[in-house]
């Protein structure tokens, strides 16, 4: 049976297929192939470890590379949509991530997980999200937050990477709890964070779908 995290991702993928029509929803449609990519990678990584006891670090490094390419692009579209001029932040963060991933991969080889790059990536995405929230606060016009599609996408990213960074920074302490008490705390936390991330995205997809319906009337 697939782990809960992968099942959550599959549900989000289904929501993306249902709500994001390519001709109507614009750039948001690209969440469909991205979610498919995430499911394939996560599912393959799980099968390799659970059934074949194989090293799957390289699989998750590929997933990280996909996030490095996709998430900054998403923020670029969101900032463009919000008419915010934060291109330098997006470009700088992306360059830092590419350099970090390249150096760590060359140093450790692809078969060792790029843990330092993950922390850098989390920090960059948190800065992206914080920049978006700040640009939202600066708006003088009232905004209906409950239906603001980019807000829910960014909120999911912010919560996932902010909380996930704390778990990874205190990885040894979390694993000690697992060893001493038999509680897979890290797995539980990341399953909850997955539910929050993809729950926010699924809601955003629905909001985007409703926007396209109302605009076509």
pLDDT tens across 57-114, in order? 999 999 999 999 999 999 999 999 887 778 899 999 999 999 999 999 999 988 999 9
pLDDT at 44: 96
pLDDT digits (tens, 9 = 90+) for 131-166: 999 999 888 788 889 999 999 999 999 999 999 998
H, E, C per residue of 9-22:
HHHHHHHHHHHCCH
- d(CA 35, CA 40) in angstroms, rounded, equals 9
Q: What is the length of the chain?
A: 217
Across the range 176-187, mean pLDDT stands at 77
**At residue 217, does pLDDT exceed 60?**
no
Q: What is the pTM of this model?
A: 0.94
Q: What percent of the chain has pLDDT over 90?
A: 74
pLDDT at 203: 98
CA-derived radius of gyration, the chain: 18
Q: Which tokens is 202 given? A: 């699924």
In the predicted structure, residue 204 carries a pLDDT above the cut 80: yes
Angle (nearest 5°) at CA 14 between 8 and 19: 125
Which tens digits make up the pLDDT trace of 27-51? 999 999 999 999 999 999 999 999 9
Distance CA 199, CA 109 (A): 34
Asked whether residue 167 carries a pLDDT value surpassing 90, the answer given is no
**Mean pLDDT value across the chain:** 92
Local confidence band at 1 (pLDDT 50, 70, 90 cut-offs): low
């Amino acid at each position: 049976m697939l782990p809960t995290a992968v099942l959550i991702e599959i549900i989000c993928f289904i929501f993306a297929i249902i709500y994001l029509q390519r001709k109507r929803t614009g750039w948001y449609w690209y969440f469909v192939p991205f979610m498919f990519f995430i499911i394939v990678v996560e599912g393959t990584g799980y099968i390799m470890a659970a059934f074949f006891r194989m090293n799957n670090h390289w699989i998750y490094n590929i997933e990280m590379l996909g996030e490095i390419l996709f998430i900054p692009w998403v923020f670029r579209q969101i900032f463009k949509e919000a008419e915010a001029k934060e291109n330098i932040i997006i470009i700088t963060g992306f360059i830092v991530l590419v350099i970090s991933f390249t150096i760590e991969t060359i140093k450790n080889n692809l078969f060792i997980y790029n843990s330092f790059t993950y922390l850098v990536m989390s920090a960059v995405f948190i800065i992206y999200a914080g920049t978006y929230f700040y640009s939202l606060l600066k708006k003088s016009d009232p905004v209906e937050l409950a239906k603001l599609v980019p807000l829910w996408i960014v909120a999911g990213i912010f919560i996932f990477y902010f909380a996930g960074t704390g778990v990874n920074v205190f990885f040894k302490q979390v694993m000690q709890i697992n060893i001493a008490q038999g509680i897979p705390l890290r797995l539980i936390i990341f399953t909850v964070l997955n539910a929050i991330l993809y729950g926010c995205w699924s809601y955003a997809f629905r909001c985007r779908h409703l926007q396209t319906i109302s605009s076509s009337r």
